[in-house]
């Protein structure tokens, strides 16, 4: 059934997905553009989503033993230079501070694009003994990467994120932590954001600058493009060797630590928008929605209507509820609630009050139901749970329906020409082959999933013996 478009101000997805995204971001009042390209003003509605993400994710981090810290935002050039692959990866996109007040600095400093080097420099002096390990630190901060092409949430020059940096006594422990955090991210996405993800390892070409191995969660947007939604890296002892982070182990031997880092950014808000949104605007999963229920009074100037609305708000005190008592017409308020993605609304007017009922309407399906006022609290609680699980189910169905397979080059090319989504295909493991695929098909490897399947014995592109099954896609 074609969805009836109620709000003219939002471009429909099918017409122009990029414009739809921009419209939603603006109409849901998540951000405003600022005077600096690629730097956005995150408005209350957007920031509240981030606050909830922080809160819910931080709880999960802490449960695994993470402690929060804060590192400086400036990195002296000499420090950034220490790990070769790392500098090469980030140098093209760092912003430099060259002056302190009126005077040039002796050594210029970059604004952190990520804080590996700062953590390493700190760990070097902080870790001496196996008793000091593991170090499981995380920081919530913003970082700066001077991107050429910017888009709200998806790619901004300054963005908010968390970056965890850990140091361990053994390679095994580091690997365990790397996978553990990837799982924390994946579970968070599914359980809180209702976004199903594919977990796997990045190829050598796509891995993080300086990492031994990079793991990723990949989500599929409504338009069939992939979004890397979180990453977890195992550094082995590469950074430790570059920075000299050594400790004395139980056997009295001097050893290098093994490190990890992992991060999730405000980009994930872009994923929420593009996985769940529709032509009427944002659709927020109840778990993360800053406001879960909007009560909209009808004929609010009539005696008793507003009082009843406030009474219902108080009755629903165990949820995040607001009353829209603004001067606008009900129709306006409906549209507003929908554009902002508030999962549910309660309509209450004189007719309802007389009949001892109200109308509830869920944002995701726009289905309306009449509910007796004395059943409201119970019904709202159940419905919010239903919305959350339905949203995940729908997103999962979309992911499954847009995941294809290809076993030879012709099939591979055809599926990308005709469809938009993930394509599972076997790969030889050669970098040159991956580069050719990117060059010729504008498609990148998203990950080598943990759940491997054997689709055929030969590489989908070059026909050489296959080593891995890979998810391919076009990505944001």
Partner RNA sequence: CGGCGUGUGGCUCAGCUUGGUAGAGCGCUACGUUCGGGACGUAGAGGCCGCAGGUUCGAAUCCUGUCACGCCGACCA
Residues at the interface with RNA (CB under 7 A): 6-9, 18, 22, 27, 33, 35-38, 89, 92-93, 145, 147-151, 154-157, 159, 161, 208, 228-231, 263, 265-267, 280, 298-302, 327-332, 334-336, 338-339, 347-352, 358-359, 361, 366, 368, 438, 442, 475-476
Measured distance CA(434)–CA(7) in Å, rounded: 43
Measured distance CA(197)–CA(205) in Å, rounded: 21
Q: Identify which of residues 244 and 436 has a Cβ nearer to RNA in the complex.
A: 436
Q: Identify which of residues 148 and 241 has a Cβ nearer to RNA in the complex.
A: 148
Q: Identify which of residues 237 and 336 has a Cβ nearer to RNA in the complex.
A: 336
Closest by Cα among 63, 83, 67 to 75: 83
What DSSP line would sit under 104-126, residue for residue?
Answer: EEEEEEEEPSS-HHHHHHHHHHH
Q: Identify which of residues 288 and 344 has a Cβ nearer to RNA in the complex.
A: 344
Q: 175-202 b/e with 16+ CB inside 10 Å = b? A: bebbbbbbbbbbebbbebbbbbbbbbbb
Minimum Å gap between C-beta 206 and RNA is: 7
Minimum Å gap between C-beta 143 and RNA is: 8
Minimum Å gap between C-beta 19 and RNA is: 7
Closest by Cα among 135, 136, 128, 147 to 249: 128
Minimum Å gap between C-beta 283 and RNA is: 13
Minimum Å gap between C-beta 77 and RNA is: 20
Minimum Å gap between C-beta 63 and RNA is: 23
Residue 366 is classified by DSSP as -
Q: Identify which of residues 192 and 358 has a Cβ nearer to RNA in the complex.
A: 358
Measured distance CA(236)–CA(212) in Å, rounded: 6
Minimum Å gap between C-beta 435 and RNA is: 8
Q: Identify which of residues 133 and 227 has a Cβ nearer to RNA in the complex.
A: 227
Minimum Å gap between C-beta 208 and RNA is: 5
Closest by Cα among 292, 302, 322, 328 to 310: 322
- Please count the other Cβ atoms lying within 10 Å of the Cβ belonging to residue 149: 7
Q: Identify which of residues 127 and 373 has a Cβ nearer to RNA in the complex.
A: 373
Q: Identify which of residues 18 and 393 has a Cβ nearer to RNA in the complex.
A: 18
Minimum Å gap between C-beta 16 and RNA is: 8
Q: Identify which of residues 71 and 466 has a Cβ nearer to RNA in the complex.
A: 71
Strand partners for 465: 458
Minimum Å gap between C-beta 72 and RNA is: 20
Retrieve residue 393's tokens: 């189910």
Q: Is the dihedral of CA 389, 390, 394, 400 positive or negative?
A: positive
Measured distance CA(213)–CA(451) in Å, rounded: 17
Stated as kind and residue range, the H or E segment containing 173 is helix 171-191
415: left (phi over 0), alpha (psi -120 to 50) or beta: alpha
Closest by Cα among 182, 265, 211, 178 to 89: 211
C-alpha 193: how far from its chain's center?
9
Q: Identify which of residues 228 and 234 has a Cβ nearer to RNA in the complex.
A: 228
Measured distance CA(205)–CA(437) in Å, rounded: 12
Q: Identify which of residues 127 and 333 has a Cβ nearer to RNA in the complex.
A: 333
C-alpha 57: how far from its chain's center?
11
The Cα-based distances of 281 to 51, 319, 329, 422, 437 in angstroms read 21, 22, 19, 25, 35
Measured distance CA(471)–CA(469) in Å, rounded: 7
Minimum Å gap between C-beta 98 and RNA is: 17
Minimum Å gap between C-beta 251 and RNA is: 37
Contact in structure between 263 and 161 (CB atoms under 8 Å) = yes
Q: Identify which of residues 129 and 299 has a Cβ nearer to RNA in the complex.
A: 299
Contact in structure between 20 and 151 (CB atoms under 8 Å) = no
């Amino acid at each position: 059934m074609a969805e009836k478009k109620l709000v003219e101000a939002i471009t429909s997805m099918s017409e122009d997905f990029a414009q739809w995204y921009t419209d939603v971001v603006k109409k849901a009042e998540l951000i405003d553009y600022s005077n600096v390209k690629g730097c956005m003003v995150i408005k209350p509605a957007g920031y509240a989503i981030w606050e909830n993400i922080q809160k819910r994710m931080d709880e999960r981090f802490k449960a695994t033993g993470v402690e929060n810290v804060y590192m400086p935002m400036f990195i002296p050039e000499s420090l950034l230079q220490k790990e070769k692959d790392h500098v090469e990866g980030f140098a093209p996109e760092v912003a430099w501070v060259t002056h302190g007040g009126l005077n040039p600095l002796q050594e210029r400093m970059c604004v952190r694009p990520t804080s590996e080097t700062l953590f390493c420099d700190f760990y070097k002096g902080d870790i001496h003994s196996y008793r000091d390990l593991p170090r499981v630190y995380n920081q919530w901060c913003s970082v700066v990467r001077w991107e050429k092409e910017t888009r709200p949430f998806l790619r901004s020059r300054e963005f908010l994120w968390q970056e965890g940096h850990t140091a361990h006594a053994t390679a095994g422990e580091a690997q365990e932590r790397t996978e553990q955090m990837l799982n924390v991210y994946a579970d968070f996405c599914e359980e809180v954001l209702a976004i199903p993800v594919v977990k796997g390892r990045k190829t050598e070409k796509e891995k993080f600058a300086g990492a031994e191995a990079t793991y990723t969660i990949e989500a599929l947007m409504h338009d069939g493009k992939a979004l890397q939604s979180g990453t977890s890296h195992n550094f082995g002892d590469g950074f430790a060797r570059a920075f000299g982070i050594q400790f004395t182990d139980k056997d009295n031997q001097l050893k290098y630590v093994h490190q990890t880092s992992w991060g999730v950014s405000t980009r994930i808000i872009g994923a929420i928008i593009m996985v769940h949104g529709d032509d009427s605007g944002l659709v927020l999963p109840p778990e993360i929605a800053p406001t879960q229920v909007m009560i909209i009074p009808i004929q609010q100037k009539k005696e008793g209507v507003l009082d009843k609305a406030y009474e219902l708000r108080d009755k629903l005190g165990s949820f995040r509820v607001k009353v829209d008592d603004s001067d606008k017409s009900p129709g306006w308020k409906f549209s507003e609630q929908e554009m902002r993605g508030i999962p549910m609304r309660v309509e209450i007017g004189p007719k309802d009050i007389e009949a001892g009922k109200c109308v509830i309407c869920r944002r995701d399906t726009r289905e309306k139901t009449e509910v007796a006022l004395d059943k409201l609290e119970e019904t709202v609680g159940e419905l919010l749970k239903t919305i959350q699980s339905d949203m995940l189910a729908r997103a999962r169905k979309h992911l499954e329906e847009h995941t294809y397979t290809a076993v030879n080059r012709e099939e591979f090319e055809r599926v990308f020409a005709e469809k938009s989504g993930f394509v599972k295909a076997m790969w030889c493991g050669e970098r040159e082959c991956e580069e050719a695929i990117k060059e010729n098909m504008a498609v990148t490897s998203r990950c080598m999933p943990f759940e491997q399947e054997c689709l055929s014995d030969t590489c989908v592109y070059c026909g050489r013996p296959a080593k891995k099954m890979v998810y391919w896609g076009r990505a944001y």
